[in-house]
Amino acid sequence: MVDWFGGGAQYRRARPTWRVAVVLLVAGLGLAALLLSMSDIAPASASVETSRAAQSSAVVAQVTATEVYSVYLPIVFRDFSQQLEPNDPMYLGGQQWGLGQVHAPRGWYVSTGHAVTVAVVDGGVDLDHPDLVGSLWVNPGEIPGNGIDDDGNGFVDDVHGWDFVDDDGMPDDIYGHGTHVAGIVGATTDNALGMAGMGWEGKVMAVRVLETQDGTVQDVAQGIEYAVDQGAQVINLSLGACYLDMQEMRDAVTYAQDAGVLLVAAAGNTSGSCPFYPAAYDDVIGVAATDSNDQRASFSTYGSHVYVAAPGVAIQSTTLGGGYGSKSGTSMATPMVSGLAALLWTHCPGSTSSQIAQTIADGAVDLGAAGWDSYYGWGRIDASSMTCSVSTTATSLAAAAEPSVTEQASLASFRPGEVIVSLERGTSLQSLGRWQVLDVNRRGTSYLIRVPVGSELAAVRQLLAREGVRYAHLNHVLHAVD
């Protein structure tokens, strides 16, 4: 699939004036000619208009032969079929069907999750598993084995996490559930060993709260709070119970959310419908399970707490003693979503947890009834769509002669690494810092500039705070829909 972007000047449909022919090289298929006819488009206005806040929720405008609409120039092609594939034998051998189902290689091409820590709040992790040791989070303030709380966080020798069952710094797994979950989200990837993890380079913080299959509300709540305090950005909760809405757990969930942490929890394995906590708390991503045919797994709990679905049947992952094995459950589907969140947060580091959740939902493949439904939520996750979403804000960071677009606007996607800025007369872009110019609009009044991927919102803020800037905003995407 190929889409096109651009940014800036208005065009009106008029008499034929120009035609663009693009030859697209398709790897493995040879040369394929793709002709885009734009012969009935001609410049109508030199002004560049910014979207007002009331218009910011519009993602796609319907275009007729008489309507004025905006496109960004130049036209840039992006091939969503590009992939990055690891050399792990189980992946190459087709044993990890779930990664193919969610198009993980397309997501990996964009991001490998290196900057994100996922806390696996579960039954611990096999800390010696050869396919996990390279992925374990390491507490930078702790000296291993000296019996001292070096970083003063109240936990002695918590090098890779903490065991709230035995109250020590060795969150080792004795049952196998947590180890299996950890491998799905973060097995060391592209190491020519075993399996690939959905989060590729993401780090796994081991937090043990289950003795075997069961754990207390207190331990789970403490585990959540510990993970937050140690800097986890995503917390995976492949555990829970129906109707167990306890204030202690609710407070821990709220604590994490107030800190900007994303919580991803299993929807349950009851086969029926019940509010399954902690997935049923507001703003927690509840994950249902699907099979290789994109059908709901028979055991997957359904209800209003289901946000998305992910592969959860016959999922291969790490097991105790350095091995690998298959398990089924929403416990297995949940770390697929946590791994995707890690990829997205690396790609969109300025995003909030709610924006990451929105991006996951926006990119999901709709299954079942159109739109949200109680079996699949917004659909089965898919890593093909790795564009960052931003939430609406009305905050203006700089005065402007006309309504300015600040943090922009809408849940629409934008082009990563690009910002559009317009300057007052007499202001030069060079006077505002060193920016790489990708394109200038036809009047020379606005610039498409390159910024580091993930710093788009910071760049917008920086520009809007400077004198001489009329407006600055993200390079939102306009899709031409057939």
Catalytic residue ranges: 122, 177, 331
Neighbours of 434 (CB within 10 A): 6
Residues 127 and 135: their CA atoms lie apart, in Å, by: 10
CA distance 380 to 166: 37
Q: What is the torsional sign of CA 248, 253, 257, 259?
A: positive
Cis omega (within 30 of 0) for bond into 278: yes
Sign of CA dihedral 140, 146, 147, 148: negative
